[in-house]
């Protein structure tokens, strides 16, 4: 009966045969169940399956898998770095972006390669198709249409910390539970979501989709006792392209040569000449007038008393920064779409006023709205209740990713989804969970910020959040993550691994070749023509030194020494970037090491800080008890934490740890070596 | 890159990193007490220790044999000016306190000599003043301390942090403090605006010329800090000596105590009466900055039953002293209780109370005295003098030369980092911003650490940033 109500998109034949019974289309037991088919859910499901876990993805509507609910774009400054990192760990969104992009550009091109922001406007249809077909061809992954009513939990495994253990889910209309070792929840804005437009409010997480998750919300709050908060977001009206006078807007052309997101791609599906433009226009005093006149008809804005620091809507923009011109980007929705997306005009006023507002902008003076903008309020789970593997601390096997953790943005969701999927898979396969260091990736920064500090407004990635920005660059994400992703995590396929290794070796060789060509600065000037070198005449400089100079390109050096350098032409841009940043990254490596050694000192999650027999002030105890940092590093970054408190904590855990280890030693002396190996901080690879 | 989280009970302990945490920097500190002392000891630890020794003790050839004292002329490495003649010692790692290469300078104890040597050390590349407890922490990480010694480390760091904090508080109170805070505020804005330009200018309307403003602000800051570093006399002199604060309720006899003119005439003692008018907040602030606090209580206000006195005093102290969080507990050795007007209390009650209070854990020592009859004053002065002596011999209690050297070093590094901003401004804004970040980190060592969230606060306040 269950199976009749469920539409099965696809089931992997191999995994299917063994469990198929009677008329049931689905197995009753999986390694990993992922709830939600958005950016977090699809990455989580694909990652768990890549790891080797039998995975089930459950979504309300199969057709909306891979849907771009809001803006038709991917990447940007900070976000582009996340996309490159997800791709380096063999995630989907980078390749999906290359397949669906219709307008590619590298933002911040003039500001230094560390902060370049690869970005693309997307064709919604192509993006969805790519994600769906990618999931279809993923072995060990089954997709099921349905609505989850309840999380099944049981007694915890006493060997591990936690009060509960997740055992599976129950569907709204299914009497039979579906069991699994781990569950990843990626419910986006659907957790107790409500939609706002003007003065009307309706339950739901996205316009046009069924409401959901009442049961799930109950399980999380009541059964598991998780603390939740409420956040808000919004989306702009979609405008009929034909009704827009584009001659009154400023044309924004894409890059002539699109740069793919993915390290696997040399070009994008969209040809350079097929790309679509964007348009830039501005708000007028009329826009401000309409906002002011409509405030009393706008529930979402009236409730905005304790809103985020930035301006999530046009209403908040003009109310907080009055008398200014604000930018509005008119973005294509796809190659065949007849709509435009007005980036910067997210609004929640009644539809008739939305139309009035739009028409105050010259280019939009005849604009027609296809679907009006609206606001969403939804529950999120305070992410300080998670470990760095994105597992709920109190519930073994339960992982959360995406907006449910208080973030905003496709890229932030995808990054968490991938990492939650990795750890859900590892848990199911009885492997220890893993964390990413904030010294090595933006994904690590994102997760460390979330679980270490929590959120008060939707969390979005900025490059200013990364301490080691000059090392966490979009160009080297593959070197930073892919080899380890294959060797240690298991989420990277052999094909990608081989490619990354060959790039790594090629770059290494090229760097050595550059260092092998050494001349005096006088000789360099003779060879390369009129370049300004600050060193005095007799100083000997090698090729790598020279490449640090602004006016020196790899091509120039290669033409001076063709016999030993010309074979590395394919790496010319990466070599130039490496040469400029390498000395700075080396300077920071000490600080990186310090952070990483603190990150590697984990604090037991069940520590009773309030009665710990060490010298800690009440204030510090309360902070520790509230936040329950996962590592000594996280504790160090807590506001209010004192250096003395850190040392006392270190000392206490060290002593108890030793005691545990002694008992442990008697029981299982053979395991000690393995543990030790896991904890040693490895060297920082700058370009190895 | 990846850290395995140890969630199983078998792995719940903690692992000491195998290597010292910040092992590549060389640090120095005054290890002996300040105040009048014959010899002062300055310790250096880290890989550059041998370089320091060569540069400052004129050892061009071989280093002296390890752990052997050598009499040398100690000179400024830059100006070659003679600073002092003293003993130098060389400790080759791992046979040293910290396990690293180390050196010691035994110099004359005058403040001028100490200051000069510390400043000379701070001017060397790769050498910086030690943070609170850093020598001990290094020794800990090098496995030089046993577990029992580690237990003391937390307290030591607490004490050092406290001493530095008190010193900083005193300073932040004055003209110099306002100057540093102003630089910090301007630098934060510079960074926020550069970061805003990097993170948002492609999508948002960030006014033209934001970077030009940053250029001139950074240049202005550089000029001001450099000028400040060149001309020390312009900066406010740090208050030196042990600060003693007299606190107590109205009419308890604070002024009388001060006016006995018998408060130890030992040099370097600041007398600072606390007037009720200053208000509770201000009074507490003073107490927080003090090295020693005399809490004056009117004996006639004590409960007649001697058994209740301890609890009464405890309660009284909690109202006079700042919260224990600020490091001032009643048991702290930085407090003395003065029970004034003892002549107005019956002899028998006083004696029984004294017996009750003797060696009472959780209470500072208490002295009965009468300012009007001078009874008990001698005993009190003996206790007070021994306290002040201990404080002077304690390298932690407000050594201004050390603080000055720390500040100088951080300010110098800050200026150097700002240089990087100009160097890369047109070539690579990420590297230019790195210079401002670094400058703020160094200045933050004086004025307080600045996190990413604080910078975002400024960005969102100054610019209209959308979703």
Cβ neighbours of A484 in B, within 8 Å: 1-2
Neighbours of B364 (CB within 10 A): 22
Nearest-CA distance B420 → chain A (Å): 11
Cβ–Cβ contact B195 with A under 8 A: yes
pLDDT higher than 70, residue B163: no
Encoded tokens for B455: 């910078």
- Token pair 């003797």 is found at B358
SS3 at position A448:
helix
DSSP assignments along A186-221, one per residue: --GGGTT-EEEETTEEEE-SSTTS----HHHHHIII
CA–CA min distance B146, chain A (Å)? 11
| Interatomic CA distance for residues A128 and A214, integer angstroms | 27
- Is the pLDDT at A16 greater than 60? The verdict is no
Give the count of Cβ contacts less than 8 A between chain A and B.
240
Rounded to a whole number, what is the distance in angstroms from the first to the last CA of chain A? 56
Band of the pLDDT at A7, cuts 50, 70, 90? very low
Quote the pLDDT of residue A22.
35
Q: Would you place residue A125 in the very low, low, confident or very high pLDDT band (cuts 50, 70, 90)? A: very high
The per-residue pLDDT for B153 is 61
Question: Exposed/middle/buried for B356, CB within 10 Å: 0-12, 13-18, 19+?
Answer: middle
Q: How far is B199 from chain A (nearest CA, A)?
A: 6
pLDDT of amino acid B208: 72
**Three-state SS at A599:** helix
Alpha-carbon distances, residue B441 vs A210, A364, A660, B393 (angstroms): 50, 48, 39, 32
DSSP state of A135: H
With an 8 Å Cβ cutoff, is B448 touching chain A? no
* Distance, CA of B168 to CA of B161 (rounded, Å): 10
Residues 403-462 of A with CB under 8 A from B: 408, 432-437, 440-441, 453, 462
DSSP, res A386: B
Distance CA A368, CA A346 (A): 16
Mean pLDDT of B350-365: 81
pLDDT of residue B159: 60
pLDDT in tens, A162-200: 999 999 999 988 778 999 999 999 999 999 999 999 999
pLDDT given at position A643: 66
Q: Which of A89, A464, A670 to mutate to test the interface with B (most CBs of B within 10 A)?
A: A464
Q: Is B60 near chain A, with CB under 8 Å?
A: no
Mutation for testing the B interface, residue in A158, A329, A644 having most B CBs under 10 Å: A644
Q: What ipTM does this complex have? A: 0.88
Indicate the residue of A115, A434, A436 with minimum beta-carbon distance to B430: A115
Q: Is B154 on the interface with A (CB under 8 A)?
A: yes
**Cβ neighbours of A489 in B, within 8 Å:** 2
- Encode pLDDT of B293-351 as tens digits: 888 889 888 888 888 888 888 888 887 776 554 444 544 677 888 888 888 888 888 88
In chain B, the residue whose alpha carbon lies closest to the alpha carbon of A656 is B13
3-class state of residue A24 by DSSP? coil
pLDDT given at position B401: 55
DSSP A680: S
- b/e per residue B400-425 (b: at least 16 CB within 10 A): bbbbbbbbbbbbbbbbebbebbeebb
CB A37 within 8 A of CB A133: no
Block residue for tokens 């708000």:
A283
Alpha-carbon distances, residue B341 vs A468, A573, B320 (angstroms): 63, 83, 19
What tens digit of pLDDT does each residue of A525-545 get? 888 887 777 766 678 899 999
Q: What is the pLDDT of residue A11?
A: 39
Q: Which residues pair with B368 in a beta bridge?
A: B339
Which one has a higher pLDDT value, A247 or A607? A247
> Average pLDDT of B52-75?
89
Contact A420, A381 (CB under 8 A): no
Q: What is the DSSP letter of A407?
A: B
Confidence of residue B229 (pLDDT cuts 50, 70, 90): confident
pLDDT digits 0-9 by tens, B234-275: 444 444 556 678 888 778 887 787 776 544 444 444 444 444
* Cα separations in angstroms, A48 against A14, A55, A422, A424, A688: 17, 7, 5, 7, 28
pLDDT digits (tens, 9 = 90+) for B67-118: 999 999 999 988 888 999 999 999 998 899 888 999 999 998 877 788 888 8
The predicted pLDDT at position B328 comes to: 45
CB nearest A388 (choices: B5, B133, B200): B5
Interface contact B152, partner A, CB < 8 A: no
A144: left (phi over 0), alpha (psi -120 to 50) or beta: beta
- Per the listing, tokens 């009206």 go with A237
pLDDT of residue B276: 47
CA distance A101 to A144: 28
Instruction: Name chain B contacts of A433, Cβ cutoff 8 Å.
Output: 4-5, 7
Cβ–Cβ gap A643/B133 under 8 Å = yes
Query: d(Cα B46, Cα B23) in Å, to the nearest integer?
Result: 7
Residue B94, preceding peptide bond in cis (omega within 30° of 0): yes
**Ranked by mean pLDDT, which of A452-466, A609-623, A630-644 comes out on top?**
A452-466
Q: Is A88 left (phi over 0), alpha (psi -120 to 50) or beta?
A: alpha
Contact list in B for residue A594 (CB cut-off 8 A) is 21-22
Give the least confident one: A245-254, A498-507, B124-133: B124-133
Q: Identify the residue whose tokens are 């063994």.
A: A18
The CA-atom distances, in angstroms, between A517 and each of A190, A221, A514, A525, B416 are: 60, 65, 6, 14, 31
A372-376, B393-397, B446-450: range with lowest mean pLDDT: B393-397
Nearest to B17 among A484, A597, A675 (CB): A597
Q: What are residue A184's phi and psi, to 5 degrees? A: -110, 120
CB contact at 8 A, A142 and A13: no
Count CB atoms within 10 A of the CB of residue A315.
Answer: 27
**Chain A interface includes B203 (CB < 8 A):** yes
Give me the pLDDT at residue A71, please.
95
pLDDT at A678: 29
Quick count: other Cβ atoms within 10 Å of Cβ B87?
Answer: 17
Inspect the interface and report whether the beta carbons of B199 and A78 lie closer than 8 Å. Answer: yes
pLDDT of residue A422: 98
Higher pLDDT residue, B258 or B369? B369
Mean pLDDT of chain A: 87
Burial class (CB in 10 A: 0-12, 13-18, 19+), A653: buried
| Average pLDDT value over all residues in chain B | 77
Query: Could you tell me which of A493, A521, A661, A450 has the C-alpha nearest to residue A49?
Result: A493
According to the model, what pLDDT value does residue B34 have?
59
The pLDDT value given to residue B102: 95
- Maximal CA-CA distance, chain A: 86
User: Cβ of B21 and A594 within 8 Å?
Assistant: yes
Confidence of residue A308 (pLDDT cuts 50, 70, 90): confident
Q: Are residues A234 and A304 in contact, defined by beta-carbon separation less than 8 angstroms?
A: no
pLDDT of B12 above 70: no
CA–CA gap between residue A450 and residue A444 (Å, rounded): 10
Question: For residue A652, what pLDDT is reported?
Answer: 77
Of A161, A644, A653, the CB nearest to B158: A644
- Give me the pLDDT at residue B137, please: 74
- A504, containing H or E segment: helix A494-516
Task: Name the DSSP letter for residue A33.
Answer: E
All residues at 6 or more sequence positions from A21 whose CB lies less than 8 Å from its CB, including other chains: none
Quick one: pLDDT at residue A686? 32
- CB-CB contact of B270 with B239 (8 Å): yes
Q: Which of residues 178-197 of A touch B (CB under 8 A)?
A: none
Find the helix or strand (DSSP H, E) in which B45 lies.
strand B39-45
Q: Which helix (H) or strand (E) holds B453?
A: helix B452-462
User: Which of A103-112, A329-338, B360-369 comes out lowest in average pLDDT?
Assistant: B360-369
The percentage of chain B sitting over the pLDDT mark of 70, rounded to a whole number, equals 72
* Shortest CA gap A99–chain B (Å): 24
Per-residue pLDDT, averaged over B401-416, amounts to 79
Q: Are B292 and B266 in contact (CB under 8 A)?
A: no
Residue B400 has pLDDT above 70, yes or no: no
For A362, which DSSP code?
A: G
Q: Give residue A23's Cα distance to chain centre.
A: 39
Of A387, A648, A668, the CB nearest to B5: A387
Q: Is residue B29 predicted with pLDDT exceeding 80?
A: yes
Which chain A residue lies closest to B201 (C-alpha atoms)? A108
Per-residue pLDDT tens over the stretch B199-215: 999 988 887 789 999 99
Instruction: Read off the DSSP letter of residue A557.
Output: H
- HSE of B311, CA atoms in CB hemisphere, 13 A: 6
- pLDDT above 90 coverage of chain B, percent: 23
Return the higher-pLDDT residue of A403 and B458: A403
pLDDT of residue B165: 58
CB B357 within 8 A of CB B309: yes
pLDDT bucket at B60, cuts 50 / 70 / 90: confident
DSSP, collapsed to helix, strand or coil, labels residue B111 as helix
Rounded to an integer, what distance in angstroms lies between the CA atom of residue A59 and that of residue A40? Answer: 12
To the nearest whole angstrom, how far is the Cα of A653 from the nearest Cα of chain B? 6
Residue A571 token pair: 């790496």
pLDDT in tens, A660-671: 544 444 443 333
Cβ within 8 Å, pair B465-A311: yes
Is B466 in contact with A311 (Cβ distance < 8 A)? yes
Give the closest residue to A339 by CA, choosing from A372, A361, A313, A374: A372
Separation in Å, CA A324 to CA A150, B395, B464: 49, 57, 10
B17 close to A (CB below 8 A): yes
Mean pLDDT: which of A230-234, B238-242, B397-401 is highest?
A230-234
Asked if A129 reaches chain B (Cβ–Cβ under 8 Å), the answer is no
B10 touches chain A (CB under 8 A): yes
Cβ atoms A312, B466 nearer than 8 A: yes
Interface of B with A in 76-135 (CB under 8 A): 132-133
Closest Cα of chain B to A177: distance in Å?
28
What's the gap in Å between the CA of B393 and the closest CA on chain A? 23
| Chain segment A587-628, per-residue pLDDT in tens | 888 778 877 777 777 787 778 888 887 777 787 888 888 888
**Nearest chain A residue to B152, by CA:** A648
Asked if A181 and A32 count as a contact pair (C-beta separation under 8 A), the reply is yes
Output the CA–CA distances (angstroms, integers) from residue A99 to A150, A474, A493, in the order listed.
36, 19, 20
The predicted structure's pLDDT at residue B160? 59
Q: Higher pLDDT residue, B394 or A576?
A: A576
Residue B110 CA, chain-centre distance (Å), reads: 20
Question: Does A465 or B404 have the greater pLDDT score?
Answer: A465
Q: Which residue of B lies nearest to A436 if distances are taken between CA atoms?
A: B2
Look at A660 and B9 and tell me if their CB atoms are within 8 Å. Answer: yes
Q: What share of chain A is helix, strand, coil (3-state, %, to 5)?
A: 45, 20, 35
Token pair belonging to A620? 């510090």
Could you tell me which residues come within 8 angstroms of residue B399 by beta carbon, excluding any fewer than 6 positions away?
B30, B34, B167
The more confidently predicted of residues A263 and B205 is A263
């Amino acid at each position: 009966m269950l199976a009749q109500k469920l539409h099965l998109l696809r089931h992997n034949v191999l995994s299917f045969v063994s469990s198929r019974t009677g008329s049931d289309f689905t197995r009753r037991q999986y390694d990993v169940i992922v709830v939600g088919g958005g950016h977090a859910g699809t990455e989580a499901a694909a990652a768990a399956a890549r790891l080797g876990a039998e995975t089930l993805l459950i979504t309300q509507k199969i057709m909306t898998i891979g849907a771009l609910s809001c803006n038709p774009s991917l990447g940007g400054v900070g976000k582009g770095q996340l996309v490159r990192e997800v791709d380096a760990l063999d995630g989907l969104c980078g390749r999906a972006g290359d397949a669906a992009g219709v307008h590619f550009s590298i933002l911040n091109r003039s500001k230094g390669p560390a902060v370049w922001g690869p970005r693309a406007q997307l064709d919604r249809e192509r993006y969805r198709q790519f994600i769906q077909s990618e999931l279809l061809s993923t072995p060990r992954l089954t997709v099921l249409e349905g609505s989850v009513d309840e999380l099944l939990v049981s007694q915890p495994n006493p060997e591990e910390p936690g009060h509960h253990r997740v055992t599976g889910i129950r569907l709204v209309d299914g009497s039979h539970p579906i069991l699994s070792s781990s569950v990843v929840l990626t419910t986006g804005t659907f957790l107790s979501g409500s939609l706002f437009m003007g003065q009307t409010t309706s339950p739901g997480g996205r316009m046009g989709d069924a409401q959901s998750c009442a049961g799930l919300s109950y399980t999380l709050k009541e059964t598991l006792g998780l603390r939740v908060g409420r956040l808000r977001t919004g989306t702009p009206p979609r405008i009929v392209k034909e009704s827009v006078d584009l001659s009154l807007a400023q044309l924004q052309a894409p890059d002539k040569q699109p740069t793919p997101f993915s390290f696997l791609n040399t070009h994008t599906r969209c040809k350079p000449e097929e790309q679509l433009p964007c348009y830039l226009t501005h708000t007028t005093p009329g826009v401000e007038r309409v906002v002011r006149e409509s405030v009393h008809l706008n529930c979402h804005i009236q409730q905005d008393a304790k809103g985020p620091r930035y301006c999530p809507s046009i209403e908040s923009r003009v109310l907080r920064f009055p008398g200014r011109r604000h930018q509005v980007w008119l973005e294509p929705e796809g190659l065949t779409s007849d709509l435009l997306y007005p980036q910067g005009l997210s609004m929640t006023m009644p539809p008739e006023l939305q139309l009035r507002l739009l028409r105050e902008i010259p280019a939009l003076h005849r604009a027609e709205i296809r679907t009006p903008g609206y606001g969403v309020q939804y529950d999120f789970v305070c992410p300080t209740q998670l470990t760095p593997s994105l597992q709920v601390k109190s519930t073994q096997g339960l992982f959360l990713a995406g907006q449910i953790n208080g973030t905003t943005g496709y890229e932030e969701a995808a990054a968490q989804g991938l990492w939650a999927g990795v750890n859900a898979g590892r848990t199911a396969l009885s492997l220890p969970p893993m964390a990413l260091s904030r010294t090595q990736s933006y994904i690590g920064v994102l997760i460390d910020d979330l679980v270490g500090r929590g959120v008060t407004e939707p969390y979005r990635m900025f490059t200013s959040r990364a301490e080691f920005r000059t090392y966490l660059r979009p160009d080297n994400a593959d070197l930073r993550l892919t080899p380890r992703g294959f060797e240690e995590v298991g989420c990277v396929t052999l094909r990608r691994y081989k490619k990354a290794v060959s790039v790594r070796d090629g770059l290494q060789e090229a760097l050595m070749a550059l260092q092998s060509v050494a001349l005096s600065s006088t000789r360099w000037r003779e060879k390369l023509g009129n370049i300004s070198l600050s060193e005095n005449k007799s100083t000997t400089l090698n090729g790598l030194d020279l490449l640090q100079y602004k006016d020196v390109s790899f091509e120039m050096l290669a033409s001076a020494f063709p016999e030993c350098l010309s074979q590395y032409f394919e790496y010319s841009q990466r070599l130039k970037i490496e040469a400029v940043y390498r000395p700075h990254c080396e300077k920071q490596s000490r600080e990186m090491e310090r952070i990483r050694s603190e990150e590697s000192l984990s604090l037991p999650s069940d520590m009773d800080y309030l009665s710990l027999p060490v010298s800690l002030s009440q204030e510090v105890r309360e902070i520790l008890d509230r936040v329950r940092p996962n590592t000594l590093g996280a504790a160090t970054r807590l506001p209010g934490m004192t250096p003395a408190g850190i040392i006392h904590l270190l000392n206490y855990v060290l002593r108890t740890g030793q005691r545990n280890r002694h008992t442990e030693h008697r029981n299982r002396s053979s395991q000690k070596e393995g543990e030790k190996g896991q904890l040693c901080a490895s060297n920082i690879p700058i370009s190895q | 890159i990846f850290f395995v989280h140890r969630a199983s009970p078998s792995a719940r302990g903690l692992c000491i990193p195998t290597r010292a945490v910040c092992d590549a920097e060389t640090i120095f500190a005054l290890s002996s007490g300040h105040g009048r002392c014959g010899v002062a000891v300055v310790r250096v630890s880290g890989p550059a220790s041998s370089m320091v020794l060569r540069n400052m003790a004129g050892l061009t050839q071989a280093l002296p044999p390890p752990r052997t004292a050598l009499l040398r002329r100690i000179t400024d490495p830059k100006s070659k000016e003679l600073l002092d003649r003293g003993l130098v010692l060389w400790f080759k790692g791992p046979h040293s306190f910290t396990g690293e290469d180390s050196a010691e300078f035994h110099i004359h104890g005058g403040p001028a000599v100490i200051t000069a040597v510390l400043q000379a050390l701070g001017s060397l590349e790769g050498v910086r003043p030690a943070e609170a407890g850093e020598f001990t922490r290094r020794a800990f990480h090098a496995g030089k301390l046993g577990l029992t010694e580690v237990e003391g480390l937390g307290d030591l760091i607490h004490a050092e942090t406290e001493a530095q904090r008190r010193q900083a508080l005193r300073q932040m109170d004055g003209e110099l403090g306002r100057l540093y805070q102003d630089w910090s505020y301007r630098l934060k804005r510079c960074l926020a605006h550069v970061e805003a330009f990097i993170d948002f200018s492609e999508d948002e309307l960030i006014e033209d010329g934001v970077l030009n403003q940053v250029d001139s602000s950074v240049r202005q800051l550089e000029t001001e800090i450099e000028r400040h570093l060149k001309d020390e006399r312009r900066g406010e002199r740090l208050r030196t000596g042990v600060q003693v604060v007299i606190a107590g309720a109205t009419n308890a006899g604070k002024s009388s105590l001060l006016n006995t003119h018998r408060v130890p005439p030992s040099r370097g003692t600041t007398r600072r009466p606390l007037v009720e008018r200053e208000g509770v907040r201000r009074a507490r602030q003073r107490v927080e900055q003090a090295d020693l606090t005399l809490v004056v209580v009117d004996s006639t206000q004590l409960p007649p039953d001697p058994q209740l006195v301890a609890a009464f005093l405890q309660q009284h102290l909690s109202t006079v002293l700042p919260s224990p969080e600020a490091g001032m507990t009643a048991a702290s050795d930085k407090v003395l209780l003065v029970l004034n007007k003892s002549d107005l209390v019956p002899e028998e009650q006083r004696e029984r109370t004294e017996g009750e209070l003797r060696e009472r854990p959780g209470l500072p020592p208490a002295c009965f005295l009468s300012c009007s009859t001078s009874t008990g004053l001698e005993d009190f002065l003996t206790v007070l003098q021994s306290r002040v002596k201990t404080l002077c011999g304690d390298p932690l209690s407000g050594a201004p030369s050390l603080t000055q050297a720390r500040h100088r070093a951080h300010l110098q590094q800050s200026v150097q980092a700002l240089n990087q901003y100009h160097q890369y401004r047109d070539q690579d804004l990420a590297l230019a911003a790195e210079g401002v970040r670094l400058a703020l980190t160094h200045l933050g060592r004086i004025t307080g650490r600045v996190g990413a969230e604080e910078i975002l606060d400024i960005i969102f306040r100054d610019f209209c940033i959308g979703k």
